[in-house]
Amino acid sequence: MTSPASQTHLLERPSFLLSQLGFYSAQQFTNRLSQLALHPRHFGLMTHLAADEGQSQQQLADAMRIHRNVMVGLVDELEGRGLVERRRHPVDRRAYALYLTSDAHAQLTIATQLADAHDAELMQSLKPSQRRLLVRLLKEMVDANGLAPGVHPGLHEPGG
């Protein structure tokens, strides 16, 4: 009564293993960040903004390859929490330049420590050389599948 389908079992499928571990990773990181009342999408946007403050909403949306409406919603959320400031762009007066507040910098420091602890727990059984190898293989896959580096595809969906 065993179907041929069972010959390639889920636990050997790379796509399944990625989905399983990716879901688990997102779930655990969401739990960790909840102590700061932040969602991973906030952490993602703050991390991107911290790397280059003063850019316009449109520049950040382009860099993260997300629709400008999604970006406006995310920035609204962070502004409402006192984490992001919109200032008039010095060159383009019709645009907003985005800055993190000092509260945001403090939260980002703690959130980064939480992310480090999360990475360490998830990778606990791997040697440093295996971790580097895993990161290299995963980055290659991100590239080959046309995903934007450092951008979670769940962000593309408004409200997601």
- Interaction between residue 82 and its own copies (CB under 8 A): no
Residue 133 carries which side chain, given as an amino acid letter? Answer: L
Q: Using CB atoms within 10 Å of the CB of residue 155, give its burial: 0 to 12 exposed, 13 to 18 middle, 19+ buried.
A: buried
Q: Which of residues 8-27 bind its own copies (CB under 8 A)?
A: 8-27
Helices (H), the chain: 14-33, 40-50, 57-63, 68-80, 102-122, 128-144
Q: Which is nearer to its own copies, 4 or 80 (CB)?
A: 4
Residues 16-75 interacting with its own copies (rule: CB under 8 A) = 16-27, 29, 40, 44, 46-48, 50-54
Backbone torsions φ then ψ of 115, nearest 5 degrees: -65, -40
Q: Judged by CB under 8 A, which of 67, 81, 86, 118 binds its own copies?
A: 118
Minimum CB separation of residue 129 from its own copies in Å reads 11
Q: How many residues bind its own copies (CB under 8 A)?
A: 75
Q: Are 103 and 46 in contact (CB under 8 A)?
A: no
For its own copies, what does the binding mask look like between residues 88 and 117, x meaning CB under 8 A?
Answer: -----------xx----x--xx-xx--xx-
